[in-house]
Structure formats: structure tokens, C-alpha cells
Amino acid sequence: GMRVRLLEAFARAMPAVTTTVGLEGIEATHGREVLVADDAVSFAGATVRLLEDKSLQRQLAENGRSLAESRYDWQAVLGQMDAVYNLAR
């Protein structure tokens, strides 16, 4: 669903705006990797802010990409699974 799209945006270094529900299960922080807004007026405001602020676009893109690489990359995920399997042995 939407969470995969958000992770895809992070992986492609694309700044994003989402809702609290859209961010569930993803370890991202409002203002660091993504902007979060839960009502139409706030969402529109966050989107306009992002469109107008190149520095914010760059910051969110870089931080989102870094998060995707360190936490959600297949190698990172598989490493975590290996740890679980090793505990089960």
C-alpha cells in the first residue's frame, strides 16, 4: 500500500508529505525525513512549504534516502531476519 510508496520515495531521494497513518510502521521523523500532516489544510500547507523551500526539499530527500538505505534496504532487512533466525536455533 501507501507505506511502500513512501519507502520508494525515500529510496529515490524524493521529499514527501504523508499522514500519521501513512507513516505507521516506518521509523521516520516529521521534519527530518518527511513532513506529516493529518488534515486537508495542514497537508496542503506542508505541500506548498515543501514546493517553495529548496533547502527543505534537499534535506528531506537526503535524510529519507539515508533512512531507506540504513533501515529498509533489502540487505539491512535480511540482516535483521538472520539475527532472528540465529536466535531461534
Digit-coded pLDDT (tens) for 22-61 = 999 999 999 999 999 999 999 999 999 999 999 999 999 9
33 close to 50: Cβ distance less than 8 angstroms:
no
Q: What is the pLDDT of residue 87?
A: 79
Strand partners, 18: 36
What pLDDT does residue 84 have? 75
Quote the CA–CA distance of 88 and 86 in Å, as a whole number: 5
List beta partners, residue 16: none
Rounded distance, CA 56 to CA 38, Å? 19
Of the pLDDT bands very low, low, confident and very high (cuts 50, 70, 90), residue 80 is low
Tell me the pTM: 0.80
